[in-house]
Chain A
Amino acid sequence: MVAEGEIMQSRLRVPEHVVYRSFGDETVVVNLRSGKYHGLNPTAARMLDVLSGSPTVEDGVRDLAHEFDVDEQRIRSDVSTLCQALLDRELVELGDPDA
């Protein structure tokens, strides 16, 4: 379990052994190391897109709060839960924002 603060200050990266593709409303994520398939709903898929393109997860939270027009604190909690779930499945990695 990674602390929410650490997640927020990190850069989220999709490693090379993970690929994801859109199937209309659903996005399928594959961990090529484990061979396992995972499904993301449209909101989670959009979060992954935004977060993986942001300097830090916290920056992504701000963009998502603006895009979804919701309170930052609420979206921070959802993002943290999603990141933790993706980290548990080795579908994302956290890195240094300056790296």
Chain B
Amino acid sequence: MRDVAAAFGLTIESSFAVPGLRPAAAGRPLPDRRCRLLLEDARVLDRDWPFGEDERVQEESFEEDIEPARTIDRHPELGYRLYARHFGLARVSADGTEVRCAPPEVEPWRWQRFLVGRILPIAAVLQGLEGFHASAVAWDGRAMAVLGPSGGGKSSIALRLLLRGASFVTDDVLVLEPGADGVIAHAGPGVVGVRGPEELALGRAALERAGRVLGRSDKAYLEVERASGPVALDALYFLRGGAVAEVREPTQTDPLALLASTFVTSLWTPERQRNHLDLCARLASSVPSYELIRPPDSDADELAAAIEAHARARNMEAAA
């Protein structure tokens, strides 16, 4: 194995370099859950896959598609076979401890978005962790997560918070597990997707201060420094529409909003559903949740400023 790094609560042993997964420093504790990443030829990956005995658990097509653009197939013993057009093919073992990738001939950062954004979260869930659709940063060793729909501005807010001095925890997929007193957030790979308008609003200097541009497709992909280990989750911010950029305290956590924020929707077993419900109930009882009001014309920095001010006020209250 070439590199060993931690992400999504897994110790990832990889035979190839992955952007955002810098090798862990010597002597740093690594998660007990392990996952090996290997490169493989697509024909080899499909050689022993029992087509016809598998079950299609997810299929996505875009307009005018004849063939599905993304599929996930499951076999009870062999695990999962994931295909994504332009990103290649991958197999994840049933226990989530091995991932074999057959990428197309493109730059590694392009197909590895599939690895980081789709495949590794599945491996984490198969190993008993839970993934939520959220971005997160940490201040003073306490993580705060922003939850909301795709395109809602989670990544931009996380990036702006990073520029305001927070540690980056994750973009788009937040992997959690119950801790002794609350909930533990695991850092994801240090890569953030920045949409065109946000890249323009940030400007080149700020972008370079935040990290290194890996490449561009529909977004600019930025490699950033990330939190060095698991962090206690301290707050959930749910993005909502409204007139003024601010943080509001809801009367209580909305169970539907929490339950619907799950990231990996393609593999539901009774055991996972029970764990997911337990974790959501733990979140509701132990992690305060707030509404982050986003006016239609607001920019990400206004929202980041609102979170920063709120977090600092909470820290002062806790210290008093």
- The chain A residues found within 8 Å of chain B, CB to CB, are 17, 19, 21-26, 28, 30, 32-33, 35, 37, 39
Contact = CB atoms under 8 A, between A and B. Distances in A.
A19 to B, nearest CB: 5
Contacts of A30: 273-274, 277
A94 to B, nearest CB: 23
B287 to A, nearest CB: 12
A23 B284 contact: yes
A19 B277 contact: yes
B255 A28 contact: yes
B259 interface: yes
A51 to B, nearest CB: 21
B281 interface: yes
Contacts of A39: 255-256
Contacts of B284: 22-24
A24 B280 CA distance: 12
Interface string B267-286: 01010011001101100110
A39 B255 CA distance: 9
B255 A32 contact: no
Given A23-B280, A24-B284, 20 more contacts: A21-B278, A22-B284, A22-B285, A23-B253, A23-B281, A24-B252, A24-B253, A24-B285, A25-B252, A26-B255, A28-B255, A28-B277, A28-B281, A30-B273, A32-B270, A32-B273, A32-B274, A35-B268, A35-B273, A37-B259
A19 B274 contact: yes
A43 B285 CA distance: 19
A98 B259 CA distance: 38
B252 A21 contact: no
Nearest to A22: B281
Contacts of A23: 252-253, 255, 258, 280-281, 284-285
Contacts of A21: 277-278, 280-281
A44 B270 CA distance: 24
A41 to B, nearest CB: 12
Nearest to B272: A32
A33 B270 contact: yes
Contacts of B273: 30, 32, 35
Contacts of B256: 39
B252 to A, nearest CB: 4
A22 to B, nearest CB: 7
A37 B256 CA distance: 10
Contacts of B274: 19, 30, 32
B79 to A, nearest CB: 20
